[in-house]
Structure 1
Amino acid sequence: MSTAVANPPPGFALDINDLQIQEAAIRIQASYRGHRSRKELREKGPPKILQPLKDVVLLEGSAAKLECRVSAFPDPFIVWAKDGTQLKDGLKYRYVFEDPDVVALVVRDGSLADLGQYTVTIKNTFGLATGSACIIVEAPAKVIKGPDNLKVVTGATVVLKAEIAGEPPPDVGWLKDGEDIEEDDRVFYDIGDTTSILTIKNAQHSDAGKYEVFVENNLGIDQSVARVDVL
């Protein structure tokens, strides 16, 4: 048994072949699509970090790359910074954009000065996202500048200074004529971040000899020698 379809009330009949009706329908569809597109952009457009940055190890003299996977539409503006200072794209720091959604920073000619926290800022008209990671620099222990040869008179104070470097920070020691120096109130040495200083108070003739400073970490060993004469 078929069901009869009621006719529309007078004045409510629509002719779908009418050009004005078709144009109105197109405008409604376009408006809906535009609203949906704007809604999708608000939801999907703001930058997101899909795969975060990870800490990397940089060997002295080599290069390292920090990278993360992102999502953003329209394409975002990227800024990299180290310890809060913006880095310029150039020979030392290279901004890299890898298709389709990976951004990276390449740090060349690694040195101890590159150790620090790096931040990427991803920004477009819908918002921004940030991520951070550290570059951990490793460098062999090194005596940058060894102590100078000295000639002093009896009773004087001898100061032997060495400039040192290395990451991890190196172990430091001093020797006299090949033997470890036994520290006391008169003969002692201090170790700083970048220097080590050996002090000999009230120098005696027995203090004359060859003094050696050595540094060592898991990446290397270095040493330097100086001669002290007591007159």
Structure 2
Amino acid sequence: MRGDTSRMSKAKVAPPPPGCTLDINDPQVQEAAIRIQASYRGHRSRKELREKGPPKVLQELKDVVLLEGSAAKLECRVSAFPDPFIVWSKDGKELKDGPKYRYVFEDPDFVALVVRDGVLADLGKYTVTIKNPFGQTSDSACIKVEVPAKITKGPDNMKVKKGSTVVLKAEISGEPAPDVGWLKDGEDIDEDDRVFYDIGDTNTTLTIKNAQPSDAGKYEVFLENNLGVDQSFARVDIL
């Protein structure tokens, strides 16, 4: 055994290939080691700081405008580690990720909600809630929907007896709320106690009391907002 140990101690070890050794006393090597250590400490410190706090909103949500039939995107920048749990809601009701609402995670710091196929009902207040094991935070913004002025159902042609009441009705939509006007034979109608019109959120009516032969003619309802105009016609005959 002793002889074997002696032979082993005398065995020569092959030197490492050229370029595979480092002189730890070399100033460049020492400087590189210091940079690596500092970088690791910085990474570890940043990681520890992220782990210790609740989520934070670094860039707030902003109100956006959604055009009818198009899509809108709400987005904010957050700080949260480990990866947070995200919930989006509209007017207090949770929204499910799916065809209408798409949850988007563009990178570890940005979260977004895409609202597709915009309609007037999408108008409202949207909130993102960000949770992790250390707490939660939230932020809100509004989607403002813009819809071109539109007459969804025009007034019907009418034949009525003299002295009766005529009511022409049109169903309307638009956001911003459109300006509404009624015309007879191309001229603005001067309202009085007998002939007048009302404008609601979704409809407008023209009332003609005690109809006279002079009230017969072609009536027009006209809508306009900053996105478009629309009009519809009806014929009134007095028997």
Both structures adopt the same fold (TM-score exceeding 0.5): yes
* Conserved 8 A contact 2:51-2:81: no
How many aligned residue pairs are there?
195
Runs of 4+ in 1 over 6 A off after TM superposition: 36-39
Alpha-carbon distance change, 51 to 58 in structure 1, aligned in 2, over 3 angstroms: same
Percent of matched pairs sharing the same residue: 78
Alignment partner, residue 205 of structure 1: 213
Instruction: Encode CA deviations 1:45-80: one digit per residue, 9 max, x unaligned.
Output: x11101000001111111110000011111111111
What is the distance in 2 between the residues matched to 1:76 and 1:38?
15
- Tell me which of 168, 187, 190 is aligned to 1:182: 190
- Tell me which of 216, 229, 235 is aligned to 1:227: 235
Which stretches in structure 2 are left out of the alignment for 5+ residues? 1-44
1:71 aligns with 2:74: no
Alignment partner, residue 113 of structure 1: 121
What is the distance in 2 between the residues matched to 1:173 and 1:122?
48
Shift of 1:198: 0.4
Q: Aligned-pair RMSD on alpha carbons? A: 1.7
What is the distance in 2 between the residues matched to 1:148 and 1:81?
42
Shift of 1:38: 11
Which stretches in structure 1 are left out of the alignment for 5+ residues? 1-35
* Conserved 8 A contact 2:155-2:169: yes
Shift of 1:100: 2.3
What is the distance in 1 between the residues matched to 2:179 and 2:137?
41
Alignment partner, residue 131 of structure 1: 139
Shift of 1:125: 1.3
Letter in 1 for 2:114: V
Letter in 2 for 1:71: S
Question: SS at the partner of 1:206?
Answer: helix
What is the distance in 2 between the residues matched to 1:102 and 1:131?
13
Instruction: Encode CA deviations 1:72-93: one digit per residue, 9 max, x unaligned.
Output: 1111111111111111111111
What is the distance in 1 between the residues matched to 2:176 and 2:121?
13
What is the distance in 1 between the residues matched to 2:193 and 2:127?
48
Shift of 1:42: 6.4
- Tell me which of 222, 227, 231 is aligned to 1:214: 222
Question: SS at the partner of 1:91?
Answer: coil
